[in-house]
Every structure is written in C-alpha cells, then in structure tokens.
Amino acid sequence: MDAGINTFFEPRGVVLVGARSSPGFGYGIPLVLKSHGWEGRTFLVNPRGGELHGMRLHASLADVPGPVDLAVIIVPAPSVAAVLDQAGAKGIRHAVIESAGFAEIGGDGRALQEAALETARRNGIRVVGPNCVGVINTANKFSTIEVIEEAMVPGRTAVIAQSGVFGTVLLDMLHEHDLTISKAVTLGNRMDLDECDFLDYFRDDPGTSVVMMYLEGAADGRRLRESLLALAPSKPVLVLKSGRTASGKAATASHTASLSGEDEIYQALFRQTGAIRADTIEELVEMTRTFATSPLPKGNRLGIVTSSGSLGVMSTDMAVSSGLVVPELSESSREAIRAGSPAWMNVRNPVDVGPSPMFAAALEALLADDDIDMVLAITVLPYVIFKTVTGKGSSGRNWFGDLGEIRSRFPDKPLVQCAVGHHEFVDRMRRIAGPAVPLFIAPEPAVRSLAAMYQYSKRIKGTGTFIH
Amino acid sequence: MDAGINTFFEPRGVVLVGARSSPGFGYGIPLVLKSHGWEGRTFLVNPRGGELHGMRLHASLADVPGPVDLAVIIVPAPSVAAVLDQAGAKGIRHAVIESAGFAEIGGDGRALQEAALETARRNGIRVVGPNCVGVINTANKFSTIEVIEEAMVPGRTAVIAQSGVFGTVLLDMLHEHDLTISKAVTLGNRMDLDECDFLDYFRDDPGTSVVMMYLEGAADGRRLRESLLALAPSKPVLVLKSGRTASGKAATASHTASLSGEDEIYQALFRQTGAIRADTIEELVEMTRTFATSPLPKGNRLGIVTSSGSLGVMSTDMAVSSGLVVPELSESSREAIRAGSPAWMNVRNPVDVGPSPMFAAALEALLADDDIDMVLAITVLPYVIFKTVTGKGSSGRNWFGDLGEIRSRFPDKPLVQCAVGHHEFVDRMRRIAGPAVPLFIAPEPAVRSLAAMYQYSKRIKGTGTFIH
C-alpha cells in the first residue's frame, strides 16, 4: 500500500496542534513555517485561543478553516490519541507526532504508544514518530524541524535519522562540509512508518540522488534488506549503524525503544545489499559528500600527488589496507611530469612534488592517465611559507593550481583533496577547489571515501564480490 | 657518549651558513631568529657579504666573531662537507643540515651523504639531518624552523618528527587543539642523530612531560626498543608510525631514505615498551592532548553524561570495543541524579539527560562516584535551540554547567568533552571548558583517547598485560 509519504513533504496545508507562546517546539515550529512562506498554509491549534507570531490560534482542530492534510502534534503524550481522533474526523491521513514520553520511557509510555497507534490505524492515519522532530523538504521550504537556515539550501542528498536530536545536529554540520539536502526525516519511535518506507520513497524521488541514514536498530531486518536491495543499485545509501556492542545495545533500548540486532548480521546485510557502512559520524558525512559530488571510479587504481612525502606514505598505507592499489605510473605520465621537474624529484606514485611548482602539472597528468581510476591531491604547505607565497600576489591557486578548474576539465574520475595544517590554510584550499572537490583534513578518510566509491561501483556493476 | 643534544636547543651562539636574500630557508630563518631575540647570538655567512634583515653577512665561517657552538647549514648538498670542515675548524661540534639532495634522492645524493657523515665524524660534529628543518625550543625561543608564532608558546609536550614538512605542518595545527610544546626536532635522513638520541634526551628534560613522535621507520629497532622502555614509564610517548603496508614502504624509501620494518614488529615493539600508537594524525594530536592535560585513570570504568542518546550509544560501542566498561551506576549516584530529574529521564550509564537541565548535576555525580574512573561529557544541542538559549542571557555555561570550574573541583579523574554540531556551538563549548578539558568533535576519538590512557596507566602500574 502506498503510504502517501509524499504528503509529509508536500502537504497542501498543515495543522500544528500544541502551538504555544512558551519556549519549545510549539513556539519555534510555527516561526519556522512562517519564515519560509508557509503562513497561509499553516494552522495553529491551542484551546486557549489568541495569537502567536501574528497567526491565529484555533481553539480546536475542528475549527481549522483551510485544507489540511498533515497534522504536527506536540501535545503531551497522554493527549495524543485524542488529537489523532480529531485529525481523523477532519479527514487528515498523515501525522508527525513530535511529543516524547512514549515507548522510549517504558511502562506507561508504552501503553500510551499502543493506544496512539490503535487510534491512528482506526482513523487511517500514517504516522512519523512519536519522539521525533519530523521532516524537511528544501525544495518547497517545508520544515517541521527548527533548523539553521543553511540546512534549507536545496541539494540532492536525503537524510534519514532515527533520533531527532541527532538528526538536527547532523543538519547543523552538513553545510560546513558543502553537503546540501533534498529532504530529511527523523523517525523517533517508529510506531508506524520506519526507515524502509522512506528508503522506498527516496528510491523514486527524482530530487534525491544519494541517501544517508543513521540507525540504532532496524525496525524490520527483512524489510530493510529488501528496501536496500531495491535502492542501492540506483542511489548510494550511506549508513551509520550504532549499538554495535552489547552495552551499546543496552543504551539503545532506553533511547528510542528499539533493540539493536547483532552487529555481524548488520554487517552482512549492508555488504549483501550494497549499502555503504560508515563507522563514525564524520565518516558518514565525508563519504556521503564524496558520493554526492563525484563520478564513480572505473577501477581501484589510485593516483596520488602530494607536496608532503609523509602524507603520501600514510595515504598509500590506507589505500592498500582499503582494497585500492597505488600502481606504478605509465611511461607517458612519467614523461609528462618529468618535463619541467627538478632533478631531485622522484617521479613515481605517489608523486611527491615537494616544494617544486609541479603540483598542477602532476595532477593533470594523473587525471589524464588511462591507468589511473581516481586521484587524491594532498596539498600541504607550512603556514608561514604559505603566507609568504600568498603575500606576494599569489592566491595559493598559483601554487597548487586551480583545482576547481582542473576538476571541470577532467570530470570523469573521482578527485578529492586533502589539506593538512593551519585552519586558514585549509580554508583557503577549500575555497580554491570549490564544492565539486571534496576536501578532507586528513588523508585516511579521504582514501576511505574513495575506497567506498570503488566498492560500491564494483558492486553495482556486478563485477565482483562486494566487500567493505 | 653524551651527544650534547642540549646544545641544539640552547646554543650559546648559532651560525647560519647559506643566508641569502632570495626566498627560502636562508632568508626566513635569520628573520625567525632575529624576531625572537637571537640577533646578537646569530651569525650569518654568505661569500658575497653585505647585509640581510639588517644583520651582517660574513664572507666565511672563519670570519664569524662571536662564540658559536651550533651551525645551521642550508647550502646545496655538494657544498655541505666543506662547510662541516670549516665548522670543525671553528670548534663547532653541533650542526643542523637542512639541505636536501642527499640519500633521499639515491645515487649521487647517497655518496654526498656518506662524504658529509665522514667529514662530520672526523671533526667530532654531531648532526641533525640532512633534509630536515631542525629544532625549536619554546623556553628560550630558539628556532631553526620557520613556524607560526602560536607554536612558540611554551608547553610541556616534546615533538619528534622524521619529516621536516610534516613536522612543520603538525606545529601549524597543535595550537588549534590547545596543545603547546616544550621542544621540537625534525630528523630528516638521520645520518647521525636519530629518534633514540632525542627520546633519551627528553627522558631527562625537566621541561618535557609527554613526547609525541612521527616515524616512517626506526633508524635502529633494537635501540628504539631500549629508548622507549626507558622513557615510557615516566613520560607517555605517543607514536604515529606510517609505512604500514608494502606499497607504503615503497613510498617511504624515496621520501626520507629509510626502509620501514614490518608493521607487526612495530606493533609488538610499541605494545611491549608501553608506547602508545596512534593510527592517524588526528588521533596522534588528540591523544597527546589528552595525556598532556589529564591525570591517569585508576581503572577502566567510564561514566558518560550526554544530552544526546544516540551519541551515548556510539560512545558505549567504542568504549566496549576499546577495552573500557560502562558500568551500572552506584545507588548513591543514581539518587544524586534522580533528585531534580524529570520523570522521563532514565538514570543509567550513559546518563542521557536529554533536554533537561540536569547535565551539570549528572556530571558532578559521575566525577564524585568512586566506582567511575573517567568521565566523558557529551554536549549536544541543536544550534537553533542553542542560539535561543544563549540569546536569553545564558552563555551556554548555564545550560551544560561550567565544565572548566567542575574540572577544577574534581581534578583526580580524566574528563574529556565531546561537542558535536555547528562549529560555532563547538567553539563556544571549547571556550566554556577551557584548555584543561580536551574537546573532541566526535565521540569515537574521545573514547579512544580515554582508552589509551587506561592502557598506559595499567602498563606502568604493571597490573596486567599491555594490549592496545
């Protein structure tokens, strides 16, 4: 059955039950909706009546005049079932329940959740939550989440987060990594809709190219497998799954009222379905950004150009232990780089250009080389020297080349940058390369992201066993 | 034999051979020395004579008037041996050779290095380098390294780096992590002095409490073992060792002319000696900072207080897989936290205070609990909510408590903070806690650093097998 998920992201009108003038969601969400052009389609309910942010507070849901097909519910847990009945009577078939105090606290909360679910089912209402913060759609600026403005910039990555707080904090970080989103959903206790419903939805969502997901445990392992199998071949799915250990699982149980399965089972599930597992938050964000900005590699041959030999070594270590190879360069690449290089420069892969001005030339040679499938550019310069160089009219672009421009001339291979050192140096390198070249502040995650792309690419082409 | 290492850090006078007015070390290092009060003790040599930065250029080393006991040599590789002879004739017994073009380029370079070494030995000169950037001593502001001013702030961590560029870039980053140094040395090709000489020196250096080291390969594995065994019990040694894989080793060979040993051997060496191995640059810096600022833990029992359940789960996962335990709380701690807590708050470890104002109280309870050996404080708040809270006269200190002040009242256990989200939120949390509370931007490295402290502590107390 089609759950009509799209209504959560594109409601004709939304009613917010539990709007109020004291701090909290009931105060903040109406403001978010109003400031994004939703004032005319947003209706607020509070039995005391009056106004909030210049918008009328309706005494009951039944009084709401406009067409509404989505209810956002923020009232205390014991009142939620009654609100669902009122919403049903109004013809509403979709609800986001943000209220906490349900199964995640056990005992009475569990009973309240069962009653709410029974009421929703009786009324034919599909539910996101409870104990969540709902959804965002950047295309039409619809949001039930109080979030920073930068998170509303439209992009092509969808976010699924089990936890509301974690989902919001993740959205706080993404723009700093040049990652923009299409839609986001936080699932909370998943009393009705779960990650599978949204994975299925994003598979057919033309605005979404990549999906990132945070899970503490699957709502239904078998369905998750089916949803991932269906989605992963066409759109990369990056997953952070916590609750790996027995103690972690115990902590999970009290948090969003789910029990994590055994980690080995998840590991196998992700491997078999082609989902890409990240081990940390940073890795989740960094890998997603790489998938969101890069073409898939044709193979696992990594070319490295670096201004620091040490970082070239570290990158090679990580590449080899991640299933990539760092091959010898072809004679044509060697010749292209050797022309103009100082005698001391050792022309091999990694190409360590040291303090020579050969960085851009070496980078272009690697990108042009048919025997290289992906390229890592390691830009490192002691900050004092960088300041001297840039103080003399050079932007830093002259030193390492215009990475963004080079990227645009060689669009067919993954190219990522690693800049290590002073934060002002790193920021400058980020600006020079632009959002099309993912920037990492350490070599290991840069290489791991490239390795993940290779593994995914191999998997969807069916050319080998998928191991990652 | 005492190599007189201290002269490298506290020379009476220094002569710089190869000073010049064109860009490079010969231009920059005299400026560094002059700007740090060393003008009167610095003598510059260039056959063309004249002046540089208002300092006289002497035509030859023999012409230098003042007392000098250290030579810094920047002339091209083929001229280095001759300069060493002149230095020897002048009575100088210590030299830093920054010039490149020696064994790291193979062939002729190798022959030049052998000739330079023979000349140094004949003159009784101990050498740092070649192919390095030399040393820093923050106490007397002596530096042969062009480095940012923040790296010259005195601290208690010594740095040993095999590579000059990497060493400098590392120094560019440290202040951003509130890490200050006592002394630093970059080793380069290690034709004479190597990491062991400096490990031995730092063992007896009263200004140094912690040592961080970057190696591509040991100069002498057996000696390294002895030096680490002697040093590690009194001062923690954090090591980043690259060249782990066969390809990485091949890359190393061309970089600083050393061959990495097998990684398993190093792993065993570090484990047996009590040195703490970091896997990445970030981990090296973060672990070092934790050791530099924290007391050692008495055991492996971790208490976690968090405003995000998800991050509590991730931290528990990492703790358990790193050899820590996340125990049930004692009844007294539970009571202390329960008093004043909302009914929905689940009082267990990790203590997930959610949006309640219980963060500081829970943190103090864990720090006071005799059954907890170390504490992780996870401060997370959606940025929009943080701005609302702090916009109303609260500094954020009111929300999570004054972590720096709490730290000062409970100085006996490691306490680290993890702040995740918007960079302005993270910066604010960093300022609130101050440098005495290491701040991490992800839970996993925070927990790994605590685990490293536990392993080290167990090792030096001899209470168990050392595994990390």
* Residues of chain A contacting residue B23, judged by C-beta atoms under 8 Å apart: 388
Closest-CA residue of A relative to B252 is A313
Mean pLDDT lowest for which of A357-366, B154-163, B383-392?
Answer: B383-392
Give, as one character, the DSSP assignment of residue B39.
Answer: G
pLDDT score recorded for residue A464: 41
Return the number of CB contacts < 8 Å for A and B. Answer: 225
B421 and A28 in contact by Cβ < 8 A?
no
Whose tokens are 């939620």? That residue is A80
Tokens read off for B110: 């190798």
Query: Which residue type sits at A280?
Result: T
What sections of A50-187 are H helices per DSSP? 80-89, 107-122, 164-174
In angstroms, what separates the C-alpha of B398 from chain A's closest C-alpha? 16
The three-state secondary structure class of B351 is: strand
**pLDDT tens for residues B298-353?**
999 999 999 998 999 899 989 998 999 999 999 999 999 998 888 778 789 999 99
Contact B176 A422 (CB under 8 A): yes
The pLDDT of residue B305:
97
The SS3 call for residue B204 is coil
Q: Which residue of chain B comes nearest to A104, CA vs CA?
A: B344
Contact check, Cβ <8 Å, B247/A316: yes
Yes or no: say if A428 and A303 are a contact pair by the CB < 8 Å rule: no
Question: What is A4-20 written as a DSSP string?
Answer: -THHHHS-S-EEEET--
Q: Do B320 and A348 lie within an 8 Å CB cutoff?
A: no
Angle CA B203–B206–B207, to nearest 5: 105
Q: Which residues of chain A fall short of a pLDDT of 50?
A: 1, 257, 259-260, 463-468
Q: What pairs with residue B416 in β-bridges? A: B376
Measure the CA–CA gap between B363 and B399, rounded to whole angstroms: 12
pLDDT class of B191 with cuts at 50, 70, 90:
very high
CA-derived radius of gyration, chain B: 25
Mutate to test the interface with B, among A21, A310, A318, A346 (most CBs of B within 10 A): A310
The pLDDT of residue B396 is: 63
Contact assessment for residue A442 and residue A451, using Cβ atoms and an 8 Å cutoff:
no
**Taking the complete model, does pTM exceed 0.95, yes or no?**
no
| Structure tokens, A186 | 């936080």
Q: What share of chain A is helix, strand, coil (3-state, %, to 5)?
A: 45, 15, 40
* Structure-token match 């916009």, residue found: B391
C-alpha to C-alpha distance for B348 and A136, rounded to whole angstroms: 33
Chain A residue nearest residue B249, CA to CA: A313
Provide the 3-class DSSP secondary structure of residue B148: coil
Q: How far is B432 from chain A (nearest CA, A)?
A: 19
Contacts of A346 in chain B (CB under 8 A): 105, 254
Beta-carbon separation of A317 and B168 below 8 A: no
Is residue B56 classed as helix, strand or coil in its secondary structure? strand
Shortest distance between the Cα of A320 and any Cα of chain B, in A, equals 7
**CB atoms closer than 10 angstroms to residue A274:** 20
Contacts of B173 in chain A (CB under 8 A): 420-422
- Suggest the residue from A133, A149, A162, A313 to mutate for an interface test with chain B (most B CBs closer than 10 A): A313
For A464, phi then psi, to 5°, come to -175, 180
DSSP conformation class of B327: P
The pLDDT tens digits for A200-212 are 999 999 999 999 9
How many CA atoms are closer than 13 Å to the CA of A271, on its beta-carbon side? 11
The pLDDT of residue B236 is 97
Q: Give the nearest chain A residue to B244 (CA atoms).
A: A317
Q: What is the pLDDT of residues B245-277, one digit of tens each?
A: 666 666 665 555 454 457 888 989 999 999 999
How many of the other CB atoms lie within 10 Å of CB of A437? 22
B-chain residues within 8 Å CB-CB of A214? 310
Residue A215: Cβ-neighbour burial (10 angstroms; 0-12, 13-18, 19+): buried
Helix, strand, coil content of chain B in percent (nearest 5): 45, 15, 40
pLDDT for residue B334? 92
CA-CA distance, A178 to B418, in Å (whole number)?
Answer: 23
Q: Do residues B211 and B231 touch, judged by C-beta distance below 8 A?
A: yes
For strand A51-52 and strand A55-58, is the pairing parallel, antiparallel, or unpaired?
antiparallel
C-beta pairs of A352-359 under 8 Å, 24+ apart in sequence: A352/A306, A352/A307, A352/A308, A352/A309, A352/A312, A352/B251, A352/B254, A352/B255, A353/A305, A353/A306, A353/A307, A354/A307, A354/A309, A354/B100, A354/B165, A355/A307, A357/A399, A359/A305, A359/A307, A359/A399, A359/A400, A359/A401
Residues of A in contact with B310 (CB under 8 A): 162-163, 165-166, 214, 216, 242, 255
| Nearest chain B alpha carbon to A313 | B248
CB-CB under 8 Å, B242 with A310: yes
Residue of chain B minimizing CA distance to A316: B248
Q: Edge to edge, what strands does the sheet with A154-161 contain?
A: A142-143, A135-137, A181-186, A154-161, A210-215, A237-241, A276-278
d(CA A403, CA A435): 11
pLDDT tens digit sequence for A272-300 = 999 999 988 889 999 999 999 999 999 99
Distance (Å, rounded) from C-alpha A222 to C-alpha B456?
44
Residues of B in contact with A146 (CB under 8 A): 382, 384-385
Question: How many whole angstroms separate alpha carbon A142 and alpha carbon A394?
Answer: 44
Alpha helices in B358-437 (DSSP H): 359-368, 383-391, 397-400, 403-409, 423-433
Pairwise CA distance, residues A375 & A367, whole Å = 7
Contacts of B256 in chain A (CB under 8 A): 309
Provide the 3-class DSSP secondary structure of residue B430: helix
- Say how far apart CA A128 and CA A123 lie, in whole Å: 15
High-pLDDT (> 90) share of chain B, %: 75
Q: What is the mean pLDDT of residues B456-465?
A: 70
Cβ <8 Å between A166 and B251: no
Q: What gap in Å lies between CA B356 and CA B379, rounded to an integer? A: 12
B148, B245, B444: residue with CB nearest A280? B444
Residues of chain A in contact with residue B312, where contact means CB-CB under 8 angstroms, are 251, 255
Angstrom distance (rounded) from CA B364 to CA B207: 33
Closest residue, chain A, to B251 (C-alpha): A313
Query: Is B319's CB within 8 Å of A421's CB?
Result: no
How high does pLDDT run on average in chain B? 91
Which of A172, A329, A338, A394 best probes binding to B when mutated, by most B CB atoms within 10 angstroms?
A: A172
The contacts of residue A465 (CB under 8 Å, 6+ apart) are none
Is the per-residue pLDDT at B419 higher than 80? yes
- DSSP 3-state assignment of A215? strand
8 Å CB contact of A105 and B385: no
- Asked if B241 contacts B45 with a C-beta cutoff of 8 angstroms, the reply is no
| Contact (CB, 8 A) for B98 and B132 | yes
Mutant choice from B102, B105, B165, B305 vs A, greatest count of A C-beta within 10 A: B165
pLDDT in tens, B4-52: 999 999 999 999 999 999 888 999 999 999 999 999 999 999 999 999 9
Q: Which among B47, B54, B61 has a CA at the least distance from the CA of B14?
A: B61
Question: Which chain A residue has the Cα nearest residue B149?
Answer: A384
Residues of chain B contacting residue A313, judged by C-beta atoms under 8 Å apart: 216, 242-243, 248, 251-252, 255
Q: Is the pLDDT of residue B83 over 70?
A: yes
Structure confidence at residue B347 (pLDDT): 87
Contact A165 B350 (CB under 8 A): no
Assigned token pair, A122: 């009786």
A242:B314 CB<8 A? yes
pLDDT of residue B201: 98
Q: What pLDDT score does A215 carry?
A: 94
Task: Measure CB to CB from residue A245 to each of B248, B320, B420 and give the nearest one.
Answer: B320
Q: Taken in order A361, A367, A373, A374, is the CA torsion positive or negative?
A: positive
What letter would DSSP give residue B54?
Answer: T
Contact across the interface for A352 and B325, Cβ inside 8 Å? no
Structure token pair of residue B377: 């404080």
Alpha-carbon gap, residue A205 to A70, rounded angstroms: 20
With contacts defined as CB-CB under 8 Å, which chain A residues touch B451? none
In the prediction, which pLDDT does A253 show? 54
Round to the nearest angstrom and report the end-to-end CA distance of chain A: 34
Question: Which residues on chain B are in Cβ contact (under 8 Å) with A384?
Answer: 28, 146-148, 168
For residue A346, give the nearest of B105, B214, B385 by CB distance.
Answer: B105
Q: A29-42 burial, b if ≥16 CB within 10 A, otherwise e? A: bbebbbebebeebb
Contacts of B319 in chain A (CB under 8 A): 247
Closest CA to B13 of B65, B82, B80: B65
Give the 3-state secondary structure of residue B384. Answer: helix
If you measure CA to CA, which chain A residue comes closest to B385?
A146
The band of B222, judged by pLDDT with boundaries at 50, 70 and 90, is very high
